[in-house]
């Protein structure tokens, strides 16, 4: 979160690669026309949003998190520019790749070597994304 006397932007510190995320911006009591630009920067700049306002601005917006192959730390930049006011804040955010997980549920907790599992007594669960219950898939 970047905070100054006249503006605030909130974004999660950890973002899921390729998912939709949300940021909220507040521009409070500006005394001139201001332009607020929010960007994610790694090797190149990705501008998320650009807002211009002469009055209070309170808004939230969704954006697509860049798709990365490995966990990466990116810079989140907020730049507020006016004719008499200029400010730039940079914070770090983690873009994390979540891997699917597989769980096997059987009819008993421990099997001895050589014992077989009866096919109708086990379930295979594939968790595609741990934090979104709507994305959980069950494979039988």
Can you give the three-state secondary structure of 13-71, one letter per residue?
Answer: CEEECCCEEEEEEEECCCCCCEEEEEEEECCCEEEEEEEEECCCEEEEEEEECCCCCCC
35-44 average pLDDT score: 92
Q: Architecture of domain 2-96 in CATH?
A: Sandwich (2.60)
Give the whole-angstrom CA distance, residue 117 versus residue 123.
11
Question: What is the structure's pLDDT at 59?
Answer: 93
Span 67-94, average pLDDT: 93
| CA 115/CA 92 separation, integer angstroms | 51
Residue 93 near residue 40, CB atoms below 8 Å = yes
Mean pLDDT, residues 53-64 taken together: 92
Domain boundaries, the chain: 2-96, 101-139
The rounded percent of the chain whose pLDDT value lies above 70 is 80
Q: Give pLDDT, residue 11.
A: 95
Per-residue model confidence as pLDDT tens digits over 97-115: 987 777 777 777 787 888 7
Query: Contact, 95 vs 65, CB < 8 A?
Result: yes
């Amino acid at each position: 979160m970047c905070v100054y006397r006249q503006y605030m932007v909130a974004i999660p510190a950890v973002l899921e690669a390729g998912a939709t995320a949300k940021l909220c911006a507040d521009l409070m009591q500006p005394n001139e026309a201001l332009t607020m630009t929010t960007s994610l920067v790694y090797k190149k700049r990705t501008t998320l949003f650009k807002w211009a306002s002469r009055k209070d601005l309170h808004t939230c917006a969704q954006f697509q998190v860049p798709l990365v192959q490995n966990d990466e730390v990116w810079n989140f930049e907020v730049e507020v520019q006016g004719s008499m006011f200029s400010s730039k804040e940079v914070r770090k955010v983690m873009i994390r790749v979540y891997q699917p997980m597989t769980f096997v549920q059987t009819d008993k907790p421990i099997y001895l070597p050589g014992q077989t599992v009866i096919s109708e007594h086990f379930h295979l669960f594939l968790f595609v994304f741990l934090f979104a219950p709507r994305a959980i898939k069950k494979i039988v």
